[in-house]
Amino acid sequence: MSTEPNKNSPTHKLPTHPPREPTPEIQPSTTNKPSLNLLTSTTCPTTSPPKSPDPRNRDTPFFKSAQWTADGTTLLTLTSHPSIQTYVLPSTLLTPPHPPLTPTSTLPLPEPTSTFSPSPYFSLSHPSTQYLLTATTDHPIHLTPIFSPASPPLASFFLIKPETESYLPITSLVWPTPGTHFITGTTNLLALFDISRPDSLCSTPLLKIPTIPSTRHISKGNGIGMRGTVSALGLQPTDAGEGILAAGTWTRWVGLYDIYRSGSVIANFSVKPSADHEAGIKGKGVVQTIWSPCGRYLVVNERGSKGLLVYDVRGTHKLLGWLSGRDGTTNQRLGVDVFPDQNGNGFEVWAGTKNGTVVMYEGVGMNEGETKPTWEWGVNDGESAVGATAMHSSGSVLATCSGSWKVADDDSSDEGSSDDSDSDSEDDSSSGKKPAFVVEETSLKVWSIDASNGAAAQEFEPLEGDVEEKE
């Protein structure tokens, strides 16, 4: 598959920054507090909303998620209108004065989506690597140039239901290293695609793995496998890029698959007993499965939950512990990120909350049972949820995005769900009157993290117990 270089794409790289020193002790230290500097920020640009009966599309757009490219020079954000906006960080980001963020390109999407993935070999200095996979409802999977959104897709990939010849909704997608294949999840099915064999070259996926034996039987698998929409995919980090695939569903199941070797399931289990009874953090469906940097532990992130689950997959796949004090009791997707501890004391977990704060856990994987937050700080004044926390590979820069819908003229209402297309919840507007939604705050912010206190820095506050709610 040949591609034309993009002569207009930026070519500079983010300067290297010395990695911050991790806290040597697992317990929070009160003598060496890390500090937080806001480098730059922006609000969600207003774009022309698509023609849709959904009243939320007529309101102010907000950022739903954000992620770094492989080389750490660019941020990709998903907005609620929907569109994917690209921000190339300036080369002077770490040197004051810090310029504001401006989008380099905007890719409008035909339908709402909650999943996209940039190429795992993205490099700002090589235009032939600057591509993006997008999956929207009732459309093929498209391979699109990031900095040329007006160009037609370079390739299309199809996942079609044979009985109705309709597109299956892609609810999760992962494009792992080395980038030769990508994996998608839909209702009761996983699919493996070869990136070099699109559309006419290969009309079907390279491999299909049903998560239940049969969808036509009245019992839908008869209790075997995991039934439901595959809403989260995470691939275990390995040198060869062929680790275990962790798939999560809206029905609160997690399945482990050896998709590259045997192409079959290893194990599947329900997270409901662990979340509801053992940990007591509840949950309404898996939105993210993310592996620890060492590949030993699996962090399960559910919507409507008060914490995160941590599993040790090397043994019997039983619950190792849980991370409490993270208020995610909303239907909106609130993403988390992980970072290795250089002293070998487990790993760190960074998570946003619905109250506009970010909590960080140290020493995850070192202890069984409950782990409380080590640090907490406010991204906003509690006006909106923090939908994503994305740690830069250097460990010294963190990106956060916030924003959520709220029902107008109702101060007691919770944030609206930004993933109604993936949700099994019922529509509350059955009375015929469409509710009005507003966005009180939305922002994309880039922070620098330093182990030493600075005069202009906002300090983390160590937590002795649970996270205190903001007034």
Tell me the pLDDT band of 233, cut-offs 50, 70 and 90.
very high
Among 25-34, 291-300, 383-392, name the one with the lowest average pLDDT: 25-34
What is the residue-averaged pLDDT of the chain?
Answer: 81
- Per residue in 234-264, pLDDT (tens digit) is 999 987 678 899 999 999 999 999 998 888 8
CB-neighbour burial class of residue 30 (10 A; exposed 0-12, middle 13-18, buried 19+): exposed
For 224, 232, 237, 436, 442, the CA distances from 57, given in Å and listed in that order, are 40, 25, 37, 10, 15
Q: Is the pLDDT of residue 337 over 50?
A: yes
Instruction: State mean pLDDT over 150-164.
Output: 88
What pLDDT score does 113 carry? 87
Q: Is the pLDDT of residue 381 over 60?
A: yes
Tell me the pLDDT band of 302, cut-offs 50, 70 and 90.
very high
Ordered DSSP codes for 444-467: EEEEEEESS--TTPEEPEE-SSSP
Whole-prediction pTM: 0.82
Q: Is the pLDDT of residue 27 over 50?
A: no
Tell me the pLDDT band of 23, cut-offs 50, 70 and 90.
very low
Structure tokens at 153: 């897709």
Q: Which residues have CB under 8 Å from 252's CB, separation 6+?
A: 270, 271, 272, 275, 283, 284, 285, 286, 302
Give dist(CA 351, CA 336) in Å, integer: 4
**Burial annotation 165-188 (CB, 10 A radius, 16+ → b, else e):** eebbbbbbbbbbbebebbbbbbbb
Give dist(CA 388, CA 400) in Å, integer: 6
Q: Is the pLDDT of residue 181 over 50?
A: yes
Q: Are 403 and 439 in contact (CB under 8 A)?
A: yes
Q: Which residue has the tokens 């998608």?
A: 184
366 beta partners: none
Tell me the pLDDT band of 436, cut-offs 50, 70 and 90.
low
Structure tokens at 173: 């997608």
φ/ψ bin of 344: left (φ > 0), alpha (ψ from -120 to 50), beta (otherwise): left
Q: For residue 278, report the phi and psi dihedrals to the nearest 5 degrees.
A: -75, -50
Give dist(CA 218, CA 221) in Å, integer: 8
Give dist(CA 129, CA 120) in Å, integer: 9
What pLDDT score does 3 carry? 47
Residue that wins the pLDDT comparison between 21 and 290? 290
